[in-house]
Structure 1
């Protein structure tokens, strides 16, 4: 019975996924397009897992799964509250340094949204070998950077056979992006590196994700994130190199379009390629039916179909949750928008907290990057004439 432990994991994962499917959104508006729902694909995934341990199961009854999909697709949520954000750690002082800190379709993400390389990480986080319980917190490591090895966390992350998964935002069970090697290298020089998808701390209190980084018409180093994440004057630090301390300041925001402009200081470097994500441009034409992808600190890389578009926003089925606000949304290598919030019917509906949900979560509201860039240029000052690094 060597396959019994494996079978137990499969059944636990299947039951966990089923619970999220049952908890699908329960209200919506008939005029909105429906999210993509594929219960047959879920059942086939479970059958494949069981088959891998020698357990054969009957073929999927397509009539039954189609009936389930039709019923679920009648539900489309409304409203657009912004995502709440997790608290940031207090940035400690770093001793022994004078006057400065120490150092396509779904293939190719369906849209060839960006170059996806294996994320470079620290192969041996402090105390990793000693991790036996979820409560473990490494010494002098960002408290939001939490390694898990319990079965529930691994199943919820969709990776039951991994040794460890990483959580970086409260409430998210996704295996989050690690700190990339390029960030560690910049930190050894006393600098923080910023690019599309970089996790950031605002005012040592809020975690969000950077939409993009580059320079403006005056060659100032600037970045953009969600407007609801920050207020003018707030400090900005990279959550991947928080030891360096604040290296940017929020200089302007537009609450109506939900974006903030950050001016970076001399201890910051900007790039168009970060942690395997490369932005080839900003802006583009997104239409209902187009598949787009995002990279955020909480849920990593997720893709989904565009449901509708207005002048200023897009509505899609890309998974996003706490910490992903500001995350870049890609289409054909272009940053076409930034994560703004969830589209809810009176606080009803399921948040996206695990990859086992598939598309069964509230739709996501995205600020359109064409409109954001145009408004930055219209207002002038820091950020006007923005171009990617």
Structure 2
């Protein structure tokens, strides 16, 4: 019976992935083969509810108003493929050679205008109240402890271990001993502190690379897009513009004990990026916590699958829906804390997470892997535009290259 339950729960998560994930492979078969997308969020949620119910996990019924609103919102931002008219029939025995009428060319529908960055829901997050966290009688956040001999190390008040069944199921890991939460509102199993960060910390330094979680002024948590050097050999990094203001201090959330090791020196609100200059107690790298950046910039097209790495939701992938010179719109899962997270395609950093778009102020945020692709689209700042603007402005960050 325990084995049967394990199989059934596993099938629920597999079903959630295959039903909810976009058909990324269809893009490689040619745009003409793409069907018009049909979103049935109610059916998806009912499927997952049924699977979980079979192993004794009861969940509330689907709210039809919510799922219908999600379907409408997603269908508004996903461009529809026009129907190709049938070719005109050729007459079998014309009395005189008559040129057949040319088939009518279907009108190409106008793509929805990509949202302004200011209109998106920002993915930066205020930290938990430090005093409340430090006086919590259960400071490492454990509930229904099943292995009392194992005590996860308390790293900081935002590094919260959970082993209650709800947290493990919501993270898609019901049979793990513990899952980790690092940002409020996210049920994903968050990335741990990597060993390379611990090694740097023993030398009194903080290590920064693509995907490093950062604290701004000890008040806001975001994710670093990339780290490297500029034309003057200064150590610099980039994150989302709405995360910080010029003059704010920056510390690694993976080695916060070292203290602030960087300062925000410039930002561009229109492109939503900030430039950080690191000090002597910081080291920069192009490879961090299992993620390696081989370059910056690439020509991403609708239909391409991209992936991101953020502190709140870890590594997630999704299909690119639209793009212009400044931003992309895709179905990569991201939430608060993931602002600035690097977006990759073929090892290249092609953008940074900016926020989520909610058409008509409706839609569902991405807070658990059980949702698959059933969440609001994500807005991404194009890395090509960011690098070009840094070079145009000059100063710290101009001539940026990866470490």
TM-score w.r.t. structure 1 length? 0.72
Contact 2:305 2:318 (C-alpha < 8 Å) held by counterparts: yes
Are residues 82 and 36 of structure 1, via their aligned partners in 2, closer, same or farther at CA, if it must alter by over 3 Å?
Answer: farther
Are residues 127 and 66 of structure 1, via their aligned partners in 2, closer, same or farther at CA, if it must alter by over 3 Å?
Answer: closer
Instruction: Considering Cα pairs closer than 8 Å and 6+ residues apart, tell me whether 1 or 2 has the greater RCO.
Output: 1
Are residues 341 and 366 of structure 1, via their aligned partners in 2, closer, same or farther at CA, if it must alter by over 3 Å?
Answer: same
Are residues 116 and 204 of structure 1, via their aligned partners in 2, closer, same or farther at CA, if it must alter by over 3 Å?
Answer: closer
- Cα distance in 2 for residues equivalent to 1:103 and 1:16: 32
Contact 1:35 1:307 (C-alpha < 8 Å) held by counterparts: no
1:74 paired to 2:76: yes
1:219 paired to 2:216: no
Deviation at 1:345, TM superposition (A): 1.6
Mean Cα deviation higher: 266-275 or 14-23: 14-23
Contact 1:157 1:354 (C-alpha < 8 Å) held by counterparts: yes
Deviation at 1:23, TM superposition (A): 13
Deviation at 1:311, TM superposition (A): 1.4
Deviation at 1:141, TM superposition (A): 2.6
Secondary structure at 2:132's aligned position in 1?
coil
- Cα distance in 2 for residues equivalent to 1:370 and 1:70: 32
Contact 1:213 1:222 (C-alpha < 8 Å) held by counterparts: yes
For the pair shown, which has the larger CA radius of gyration, 1 or 2?
2
- Cα distance in 1 for residues equivalent to 2:2 and 2:363: 34
Contact 2:19 2:44 (C-alpha < 8 Å) held by counterparts: no
Are residues 22 and 143 of structure 1, via their aligned partners in 2, closer, same or farther at CA, if it must alter by over 3 Å?
Answer: farther
Deviations 1:316-339, CA, capped at 9 Å, x for gaps: 000000000000000010000000
Mean Cα deviation higher: 51-60 or 215-224: 51-60
Contact 1:229 1:325 (C-alpha < 8 Å) held by counterparts: yes
Mean Cα deviation higher: 206-215 or 45-54: 45-54
1:57 corresponding residue in structure 2 = 59
Contact 1:35 1:305 (C-alpha < 8 Å) held by counterparts: no
Contact 1:109 1:293 (C-alpha < 8 Å) held by counterparts: no
Deviation at 1:352, TM superposition (A): 0.2
How many residues are aligned here?
A: 382
- Cα distance in 2 for residues equivalent to 1:193 and 1:170: 24
Contact 1:83 1:322 (C-alpha < 8 Å) held by counterparts: no
Contact 2:296 2:384 (C-alpha < 8 Å) held by counterparts: yes
Are residues 69 and 302 of structure 1, via their aligned partners in 2, closer, same or farther at CA, if it must alter by over 3 Å?
Answer: same
Secondary structure at 2:186's aligned position in 1?
coil
Deviations 1:108-141, CA, capped at 9 Å, x for gaps: 9999999999999999998989956999997763
Are residues 159 and 285 of structure 1, via their aligned partners in 2, closer, same or farther at CA, if it must alter by over 3 Å?
Answer: same
Contact 1:325 1:341 (C-alpha < 8 Å) held by counterparts: yes
Are residues 251 and 70 of structure 1, via their aligned partners in 2, closer, same or farther at CA, if it must alter by over 3 Å?
Answer: closer
Unmatched runs of 5 consecutive residues or more in structure 1: none
1:106 corresponding residue in structure 2 = 117
Contact 2:20 2:371 (C-alpha < 8 Å) held by counterparts: no
Mean Cα deviation higher: 320-329 or 69-78: 69-78
- Cα distance in 2 for residues equivalent to 1:201 and 1:87: 66
- Cα distance in 1 for residues equivalent to 2:199 and 2:105: 19
Are residues 60 and 273 of structure 1, via their aligned partners in 2, closer, same or farther at CA, if it must alter by over 3 Å?
Answer: same
1:96 paired to 2:107: no
Contact 2:133 2:139 (C-alpha < 8 Å) held by counterparts: no
Mean Cα deviation higher: 182-191 or 59-68: 59-68
Contact 1:102 1:188 (C-alpha < 8 Å) held by counterparts: no
Deviation at 1:261, TM superposition (A): 0.1
Are residues 110 and 46 of structure 1, via their aligned partners in 2, closer, same or farther at CA, if it must alter by over 3 Å?
Answer: farther
Contact 1:195 1:274 (C-alpha < 8 Å) held by counterparts: yes
- Cα distance in 1 for residues equivalent to 2:255 and 2:154: 12
Secondary structure at 2:274's aligned position in 1?
strand
Deviation at 1:91, TM superposition (A): 64
List 4+ stretches of structure 1 deviating above 2 A. Answer: 4-84, 86-97, 101-141
- Cα distance in 2 for residues equivalent to 1:314 and 1:103: 8
Are residues 266 and 138 of structure 1, via their aligned partners in 2, closer, same or farther at CA, if it must alter by over 3 Å?
Answer: same
Are residues 369 and 207 of structure 1, via their aligned partners in 2, closer, same or farther at CA, if it must alter by over 3 Å?
Answer: same
Mean Cα deviation higher: 115-124 or 266-275: 115-124
Deviations 1:173-209, CA, capped at 9 Å, x for gaps: 0000000000000000000000000000001000000
Are residues 356 and 311 of structure 1, via their aligned partners in 2, closer, same or farther at CA, if it must alter by over 3 Å?
Answer: same
Contact 2:126 2:221 (C-alpha < 8 Å) held by counterparts: no
Deviation at 1:310, TM superposition (A): 1.1
TM-score w.r.t. structure 2 length? 0.70
Contact 2:126 2:220 (C-alpha < 8 Å) held by counterparts: no
